[in-house]
Structure 1
Amino acid sequence: MASPCFGLKEGVQIGINFGGPHGTKYTDVDVVSPQQTVQVIKIQAGERVDAVGIDYTDPTGLKTALYHGGRGGKDISRELSPGEYVTAMEVHWGEKGDHTRVKYIQFATNQGNTISGGNPTKNIGRDNAPEGYQLGGFYGTAGRELDSVGAVWTKVPGVTSAPAASVAIGMRPGNPSFNFSTT
């Protein structure tokens, strides 16, 4: 399901939210910055996805770590190379008891690298960054595990113009050179 937001600062866009309605709401919309540089993408996962996070540096040089969810599962991290950034996210969800949880997540970069954790299901959602944007943060719901997640896309450093904010439901064009396999 999509969660359009209005009043976003220029250079910040909201992606599609995947998962269930349970847990406590979180959002990075107010702390991320256009032109920030992400150094590390993090996943905590076991049977399901426990948490996601990123480490980034804002345009003033301030380093920040964002983390949402619990501390269970295995720590899966990827340090991004200079000029590398996340352009796509794939999320799988399913039931755990009477709650819908994120069961699997995969991120892909502009350099064709991926990082993933959890166990795939048949409920699959994908979101690509708008042209000139990167994964800059997250929004959704979480408790001890990740209940739902959506991307907060931020303008890539060095990009001076980008398309107007999109609040359409469904896939955006994003990075056409990278497609997730469906196997």
Structure 2
Amino acid sequence: MLKDMIKKVSGLFICMIIVFSMTSIYTLAESNDDNRITILTYNIAGLPALLSSADPEKNTKRIGELINNFDIVAVQEDFAYHDDLLSKSQFPYVTDHPGNVPFGSGLNVLSNYPIKESINIPWDMTHGNITCPPPGYHGADEMTPKGFSYQRIELEPGVIVDLYNLHADAGGDEGSREARHDNFIQLAEYINNHSSGNAIILLGDTNAFYTRECDNLYENLTTECGLTDPWIEFVRNGEVPEFRDYHDTMEDLNEDLSGPNYETIDKIMYRSSDIVTFDFVDYKIEEEMFIDENGDRLSDHYATSITIDYSLSDNIKLSSTFGGTAGDPFNFIEYMPAKPSKVSIRTGDRVDSVEIQYGDISAQAGGNGGDYDEIILDEDEYIVKVKICKDKRWYWKQKQIYYIKIETNKGKVLSGGTKSDEEMTIEAPEGWQIAGFYGKANAEICQLGGIFIPQ
């Protein structure tokens, strides 16, 4: 942890509370393994060896081997030994390494499922560097661009989950507490703006306890974003821990760690959507897995894992998306299962906007540029196919949607923009229709996918 780095750099040692985690497990009913996901969060203490709280030169390869037991893994403090981690891991999808200290965030995701998009966002507020007294107490969070990352994980074609991996500000001084409080507010605002209507998995090193009023984690993040923390909902039967003195946390190692009275800062939460429903199966603090031949921990943190099953809606489905990663997310799913009565587009050289009328309500994405065109749908008419092309204006720009062609079951066609060699066709499965869109947009459409409902 960065606070340990400062202790070594400065040579000054102060009394600190050290977070320990032991094995804690809670299990619910069996379910279909085909739709079962095992998820792990792990602060792997990957600072350069001189600065790390563990022994990353020795342990990182072993960590890389052991994380293969899970489907989705989020790591924090993955700085100097990322290549060692990958040398033993076998995941087909891994986020680009953001770099070593002092340039990288230390956040990476390894997945058995495709990672469709990945963004790193630094915190607006951090606190602590080697000049801040007392050394080691504030966490030295200004020395790396800590923050959170956002990935879009595709569980199966058209089944997208938004994943957030975070490492919050460390330390117990006033500046660190204020920064950490602000971290959770910033993250919640981002989630509410970018993941509206989407299923979510959130995990990472929060450096926070529900018992600390200064963090106010449950209100600022968990409930603000509609997340489920399985430790609260299933281990504690929905009982949120009461606020206590800052240093009086639920980490008493004499407690029964399989029970409800042990809290870790390394948390995993999730949220279902209209498309994807998550069902809790298992929660565990991995005390016994991540140890060396002598029984010592591989990091100064224990890893936390959960197992969940997912099921899909019988009434709404999604296509894959196509395009670039720029723009702000939009989603017409809140209008489902309403039937479209009109569809319109604005196009010029590119696709400026798409809009669908649902009775008296209109859903629109994009800007007001380009030429307007529309088709009115008959009572028994619906969209069956949408062809889209993507391109970019300059080589350093993100790709976006350049062309769109919308076809109905009665042969009506609405099209505009500029065709390119990169194209995708969204076609409704038999018995279904395209009733809406989702994707990303700014003044133009950057990314587009289709929403299906039964005919």
TM-score by length of 2: 0.32
Partner-residue secondary structure (3-state), 1:29? helix
Of 380, 383, 387 in structure 2, the residue corresponding to residue 83 of structure 1 is 380
Of 311, 320, 325 in structure 2, the residue corresponding to residue 16 of structure 1 is 320
Q: CA deviation at 1:96?
A: 2.2
User: Partner of 2:334 in structure 1?
Assistant: 30
Amino acid aligned to 1:142: A
Of 350, 371, 394 in structure 2, the residue corresponding to residue 74 of structure 1 is 371
User: Partner of 2:406 in structure 1?
Assistant: 107
Provide structure 1 residue ranges, at least 5 long, that are not aligned to the other structure. Answer: 58-62, 157-183
Q: CA deviation at 1:9?
A: 4.2
User: Partner of 1:48 in structure 2?
Assistant: 350
Equivalent-residue separation in structure 2 for 1:129 and 1:3 (angstroms) = 12
Structure 1 residues 1-183: aligned runs within 5 Å: 3-5=158-160, 6-7=276-277, 9-33=313-337, 36-57=338-359, 63-97=360-394, 98-156=397-455
Greater shift in the superposed pair: 96-105 or 6-15: 6-15
Equivalent-residue separation in structure 1 for 2:333 and 2:358 (angstroms) = 14
More strand as a share of residues: 1
Equivalent-residue separation in structure 1 for 2:392 and 2:344 (angstroms) = 23
Task: State the structure with bigger RCO (CA 8 A, min sep 6), 1 or 2.
Answer: 1
Partner-residue secondary structure (3-state), 1:137? strand
Equivalent-residue separation in structure 2 for 1:92 and 1:49 (angstroms) = 10
Equivalent-residue separation in structure 1 for 2:425 and 2:399 (angstroms) = 17
Q: CA deviation at 1:29?
A: 2.0
Equivalent-residue separation in structure 2 for 1:89 and 1:21 (angstroms) = 20
Residues 90-137 of structure 1 deviation map (CA, whole Å, 9 limit, x = unaligned): 000001231211000001111122110111111110111112211211
Equivalent-residue separation in structure 1 for 2:450 and 2:429 (angstroms) = 11
Residues 39-59 of structure 1 deviation map (CA, whole Å, 9 limit, x = unaligned): 1111110110001111013xx
Q: CA deviation at 1:3?
A: 4.3
Amino acid aligned to 2:314: E
- The number of residue pairs the alignment matches comes to 149
Provide structure 2 residue ranges, at least 5 long, that are not aligned to the other structure. Answer: 1-115, 117-156, 161-275, 278-311
Equivalent-residue separation in structure 2 for 1:30 and 1:55 (angstroms) = 13
Q: Answer yes or no: is the 8 Å Cα contact 2:317–2:451 preserved in 1.
A: yes
Equivalent-residue separation in structure 1 for 2:385 and 2:158 (angstroms) = 17
Partner-residue secondary structure (3-state), 1:71? coil
Equivalent-residue separation in structure 2 for 1:75 and 1:87 (angstroms) = 21
Equivalent-residue separation in structure 2 for 1:42 and 1:117 (angstroms) = 11
Amino acid aligned to 1:4: V
User: Partner of 2:178 in structure 1?
Assistant: none
Q: CA deviation at 1:150?
A: 0.4
More helix as a share of residues: 2
Q: Answer yes or no: is the 8 Å Cα contact 2:375–2:412 preserved in 1.
A: no
Amino acid aligned to 2:399: T
